[in-house]
Amino acid sequence: MTIYHKKAFLCLALSATLFSSSAFAQNNDEEIIKSIMSLRADVESLYTSIDENQESYKYQMKSLAMQSADNEAQINRQETAIKLAKNQLQEIQAKIATKNSDNTDLKPLLEEAMNQLENSIKTGFPFKVQERVAAIDKIREELKEGAISEEKALALVWANYDDCIRVTKEIGLFKQEVIVDGKKILAKIAKIGSVMMFFSTPDDKVGYITKEGSNYDYKVITNPDDIKNIVALFDALQKNIRTGYFTLPNALVLAEIK
């Protein structure tokens, strides 16, 4: 009788063990299946993300290529402007050399050079136009009154021609009046040669200068990303950082060179 009970107990124990093992195996298989399905969903999501990123990358590259072409065209224009300014300066120097050899009056030649320079400043890149024209007027007035000699006036005119060439290359922070909403406001200016010029007003408006026909317009920016990028440029220039990678709106001041 005792032996029979032991055998019965052993059978029950084995049955319980087999049932438990079978249930564990079934649960384990379900977990594996769920894990595989989850991994498959993750892989499909990654493939979708890769496709979207590739498409976005293509658009970005296309946009950068277009901006690069615009930048190259503008740089070529500025190089042409520099060459024209240098040629103009050489012509004036040649005329002065001829006048000196003839020992004649230099005032008509100086007046011609100042008129050409003044016209170039007024129709060119809108950077400190009033101050630069005022410098020429001062030379003209002092020469007329006899406060400076013709030779001194000649040296000052040459210096102003050199200043026009410097403006096309100079990068930095300045202050000048800008016109925003029809009002003149003294603002900070971030000048990138004579290619781009950004402004920041005391009331935290930022924007850039663009050319509309023969006039220059001050365009205020409202896009948050563009504002953030322009502010970053001002911060970098404030820290004397003039080289590096900057993301900026397309603010090329496109001007025809005549």
Sequence-distant (6+) residues with CB within 8 A of 104 are none
**Domain locations along the chain:** 77-167, 171-238
Sequence-distant (6+) residues with CB within 8 A of 249 are 208, 221, 223, 226, 229, 230
Which runs of E-coded beta strand occur in the chain? 171-180, 183-192, 196-200, 206-212, 215-220
Instruction: Give the pLDDT confidence score for residue 198 in this predicted structure.
Output: 95
pLDDT, tens digit (0-9, with 9 covering 90-100), for 107-155: 888 899 899 999 989 988 899 999 999 999 999 999 988 898 888 998 8
pLDDT, tens digit (0-9, with 9 covering 90-100), for 180-226: 888 899 999 999 888 889 999 999 899 999 887 778 889 999 999 99
pLDDT, tens digit (0-9, with 9 covering 90-100), for 161-192: 888 888 888 889 999 999 888 889 999 999 98
